[in-house]
Amino acid sequence: MTTDAVVHQDAYTLWTQLEAEFDRYHAVIAVLPLNQAKLQEDLRRYLCLRCAGFLERIVYVCVHLYLDECSGGPAREFSKSFFSNSPNLNSETLSKLIGRFGRDHSDRLDTFLNGTLRDSLNDLASIRNPIAHGQVPGGQKLDPERYRILCRAIYRWMTSELVTPVGTITSYN
């Protein structure tokens, strides 16, 4: 087990809820009869949507926590009023958003978003809306485990870059 800093409880709760959903998914598919392949595909689509939603929410929470920490009073309220929701995230929208904090933040994000993570983020963004609107994408892009890795990486980056730790836990896994 590793020891990592705990971020603000709101961010950590988002992460543990997503992890619990993955645990339930694995428990179900381990006993799912072979003739229920369609149900497994439905669950995979759901988890892909949850990963996209998680990323939007964790970015929103971390940005607001950062604004709370870095500003105060009317300036804080003013800055938070310009970020009332997180957009559907692909690598370009995430880079533009983080870039609004300055070139230093943008450079660190670009270094972090290596080719694999960037591709995963863009693939997840490309299937989010079709799934949410009832289209039935499948294939290689419908890989919740790939997006779980992406979510874990972005969660760790966002919380290490934008949120002051408040305690200690034994593991992110």
Q: What is the pTM of this model?
A: 0.86
Question: What is the Cα 43 distance to its own chain's centre?
Answer: 18
Does residue 168 sit in helix, strand or coil? strand
Q: What is the DSSP string of 55-123?
A: HHHHHHHHHHHHHHHH--HHHHHHHHHT-SSPPPP-HHHHHHHHHTT-HHHHHHHHHHS-HHHHHHHHH
The pLDDT score that the predictor gives to residue 50 is: 96
The tens-digit pLDDT sequence of the chain (173 residues) is 233 444 578 899 999 999 999 999 999 999 989 898 889 889 999 999 999 999 999 999 999 888 888 888 888 888 888 888 888 999 999 999 999 999 999 999 999 999 999 999 999 999 998 998 888 766 778 899 999 999 999 999 999 999 865 544 334 33
- The one-character DSSP state at 35 is G
